[in-house]
Amino acid sequence: MTRHEVTYLPSGKTTRVPDGTSLFSAAHWIGLPIESSCGGRGTCGKCKVKIVGDAEVTDADHRELSPEELAEGWRLSCTLRVSADTVCDVPEVMSRPKAATMGLHRMVVLEPNVVRVPLTLSPSTVDDPRDDVERLREALHAEGYGLDARDLDTLRLVPQAVRDRSEVTAVLCGEHLVALEPAETPDERYGVAVDLGTTTVVATVMDLTTGMASGVASDLNKQARFGGDVISRIGHAMQGHAQLEELRHAALASVQGVIDEALADAELSREQVYEAVVVGNATMLHLLLGIDAKQIAMSPFAPAFREPLDLSAAQAGLHIHPRGRLTLLPALGAYVGADIVAGILATGLAREDGVRLFVDVGTNGEMAVNAGERTAATSAPAGPAFEGAQIHHGMRAADGAIEAVALGETVEVKVIGDVEPHGICGSGLIDAVAQLRLAGLVGVNGRMVSAEEAREAGSPLAEHLIELHGQRAFRLTGDLILTQRDVRELQVAKAAMVVGMRALMELLGVQPEDLEQIMLAGSFGTYINPESALAIGLVPPVPVERIVAAGNAAGEGAKMCLLSFRERLLAHDLPRRVEYLELSARPGFNDEFVAATVFPELPGEART
């Protein structure tokens, strides 16, 4: 990946960016926002910078800048794509928009994609042959905004709205006209950020004028009846068009359901929501749009599309404002989707210099490492153990699930909800095995000791070790047990994760001790005990305080894109900026995988 150095004067700040990055986004990557109101679309002309030396002139430059300005070296930073080392002078930013802290301590400037533009339309006269669309386009252009009026929705809206009055307020989502309202309409703008997970769907309605959440709701993905993981869902969709449509409708119903619930929570109507930003893994976004996803399940694992999309929500079947937009963030590959792009954005991983590891633990584990100016991401097929599936008493992280385990003289368990335990979820499983390791009841290779061996070693928990149908097991509480096979399942799951992390660290030349931070993302990540993660070797060995929970980073990233076009542009840059590693293409994968099933040795422990 070719990179070029960009220097911004007068601050002298520099950055090295991949070939093709815009000067505008490159500045934002290093926290040096350049003025803009049009969202980097080349229509407001405010983002001009003065290039030291030569630079190409783009069509937008010709349109927005005078010949004198061009001769002096002024260019729009949003359309200038860096193709060599570049030095430019940046005018001082005059506006100070509102900002909010989001994601992992990220300051997000409140500049949503949805804007409200007050306009005074010049009246039609017989001497002025302009049509309604032109009059509106020119009025918007005078304010620095573009208008895409090539669709029937816009053509049908414009004449009715621009005739009744000369003072109107245009509501734009990017360059799409969502509404034309009377000038005196109060500035109320809402958007919704949706994280369409394979298991759980979360919607957050955001007030785009304040940056605050107005309502939130979550629910299980209604596709669950077609299978718990993406592979089984793709398998169902492969049976035919009707099945693909079933999955599409289930995804739509899930998204619509949480949006409607979040709206009810916020006491808002669908018509008040102008934009939905949806993130999810590549399979979820394919199925949401009714796009064949079967190649995601087959080598060489290429999705149908990875680009960001800007669609009519109504055409996609989603009910928000009738002319509202449905925006999807880009994906890096078949198994590192828009959710991870959003997560990388929310954690600032690719824009900060520290050496950091981002991990989203799940059936499909995704991880990304940043080191200096390079960032790389991959995914690993961990399998269902982390979701509690294929585990003897495994269950989802719901009421009744053991989510934490501590072993001392006795077994202590923490159960979700005020109910009796009736299973163990992923974080409980990690805790249990970690504690069994630390108690000397599971060996470095995953072998569970027998009750007899435990008694010989003087373990107070020896009577918890049982045999069931010829298999060893550990009784947690009541009838709930953890079997030898469960330990093996966890070993397999964590081994996949470990191979992925190691591959990324090797690619970027990162050693475990270099890692300044490990971020565990996703609702599951939040519940993993960092000490247990270290004990089973789910993460590289680092001081425990370097492990932090990143929360629902995907959802946070979606909200950030909703609130700030600058963040959205960064998200759009990520596929160019982040190296995507396909793990299955890696030579020696199987050997590495087998080696990685081993647990970290404890101090003084002999490898057996």
Cβ proximity to a copy of itself, 305 vs 593, nearer residue = 305
Residue 579: CB minimum distance to a copy of itself, A: 10
Residue 150: CB minimum distance to a copy of itself, A: 7
HSE value, Cβ hemisphere, 13 Å, CA-based, for 505 = 22
Residue 533: CB minimum distance to a copy of itself, A: 29
Cβ proximity to a copy of itself, 265 vs 292, nearer residue = 292
Cβ proximity to a copy of itself, 150 vs 607, nearer residue = 150
Cβ proximity to a copy of itself, 149 vs 539, nearer residue = 149
Q: Which two tokens stand for residue 289?
A: 């749009």
Residue with tokens 């994601």: 103
Q: Which residues, other chains included, contact 215 with Cβ-Cβ below 8 Å and sequence gap of 6+? A: 204, 205, 261, 262, 263, 264, 265, 266, 267, 268
Residue 305: CB minimum distance to a copy of itself, A: 5
- Please give the order of strands across the beta sheet that includes 167-173: 114-120, 167-173, 176-182
Cβ proximity to a copy of itself, 248 vs 437, nearer residue = 248
Q: How far is CA 216 from the centre of its chain?
A: 17
Residue 249: CB minimum distance to a copy of itself, A: 15
Q: What are phi and psi of 21, to 5 degrees?
A: -70, 145
Cβ proximity to a copy of itself, 124 vs 169, nearer residue = 124
Burial category of 151 from C-beta neighbours within 10 Å (exposed 0-12, middle 13-18, buried 19 and up): middle
Cβ proximity to a copy of itself, 244 vs 262, nearer residue = 244
Query: Quick one: which H or E segment has residue 140?
Result: helix 132-142
Task: Please state the three-class secondary structure of 552-592 as a single string.
Answer: CHHHHHHHHHHHEHHHHHHHHHHHHHEEECCHHHCCCHHHH
The answer to whether the bond into 10 is cis (omega within 30° of 0) is yes
Residue 60: CB minimum distance to a copy of itself, A: 8
Residue 380: CB minimum distance to a copy of itself, A: 15
Residue 179: CB minimum distance to a copy of itself, A: 16
Cβ proximity to a copy of itself, 57 vs 253, nearer residue = 57
Q: Which two tokens stand for residue 519?
A: 């971020």
Burial 255-266 (b: 16+ CB within 10 A, else e): bbbbbebbbebb
Cβ proximity to a copy of itself, 346 vs 377, nearer residue = 377
The residues binding a copy of itself (CB under 8 A) are 56-59, 62, 124-135, 149-152, 155-156, 158-160, 163, 289-295, 299-307, 309-311, 315-316, 333, 580, 582, 584-585
CB 327 within 8 A of CB 308: yes
CB 191 within 8 A of CB 276: yes
CB 504 within 8 A of CB 365: no
Q: Which of 378, 380, 284 is nearest to 333 (CA)?
A: 378
Cβ proximity to a copy of itself, 189 vs 306, nearer residue = 306
HSE value, Cβ hemisphere, 13 Å, CA-based, for 333 = 22
Pairing mode of beta strands 374-381, 401-407: unpaired
Residue 246: CB minimum distance to a copy of itself, A: 15
Residue 301: CB minimum distance to a copy of itself, A: 7
Cβ proximity to a copy of itself, 234 vs 536, nearer residue = 234
Q: Which of 400, 373, 173 is nearest to 276 (CA)?
A: 173
Cα R_g (the chain), whole angstroms: 27
CB atoms within 10 A of CB 523: 19
Residue 537: CB minimum distance to a copy of itself, A: 27
Cβ proximity to a copy of itself, 133 vs 213, nearer residue = 133
